[in-house]
Amino acid sequence: MKILLVDDSKTMRTIQKSILTQMGHTEIEEAVDGVDALSKVGSFKPELLLVDWNMPKMDGLTFVKEYRAMDTSTPIIMVTTEAEKSRVIDAIKAGVNNYVVKPFTPDVLSQRIEETMTKAAA
């Protein structure tokens, strides 16, 4: 499964990539912000996106809205420090399928990914 990691923090991309690799995923692309992600989705064609919220140039919410204008079905999980209910609602309205709050354990992220993909396949 092709997965696009969108986070301005290289540390967080490294941690998420490590978790994904341990889950058996090897086709992983990285983007440093929403603009970078938009430039990569066309050629990479991800089957799952993990997206941070607070990023320079283009934040995660704006990216999700722009991406959803092109693709309404590919699952998106927001991985972010934004934990308030209002923010979660905003993300879901924008088209996010699931939500992981930082800090997270590897188990939480992997469970959320499996749950998202199971729902998407149903």
Kindly tell me which residue out of 56, 70, 89, 93 binds other proteins, with binding defined by CB under 8 A: 56
Beta bridge partners of 96: none
What strand order describes the sheet that includes 76-80? 28-31, 3-6, 48-51, 76-80, 98-101
Q: Which helix (H) or strand (E) holds 65?
A: helix 60-68
Residue nearer to other proteins on the CB measure, 42 or 103: 103
Binding mask 21-40 toward other proteins (x if CB under 8 A, else -) reads: --------------------
Residue nearer to other proteins on the CB measure, 55 or 74: 55
Kindly tell me which residue out of 15, 20, 76, 78 binds other proteins, with binding defined by CB under 8 A: 15
Q: Does 12 bind other proteins (CB under 8 A)?
A: yes
Binding mask 74-113 toward other proteins (x if CB under 8 A, else -) reads: ------xxxxx----------------xxxxx--------
In degrees to the nearest 10, what's the CA dihedral of 117, 118, 121, 122? -150
**Which among 41, 45, 50 is positioned nearest to 23, based on CA atoms?**
50
Beta strand ranges found along the chain (DSSP E)? 3-6, 28-31, 48-51, 76-80, 98-101
Which residues of the chain form contacts with other proteins (CB under 8 A)? Answer: 8-12, 14-15, 18, 54-56, 80-84, 101-105
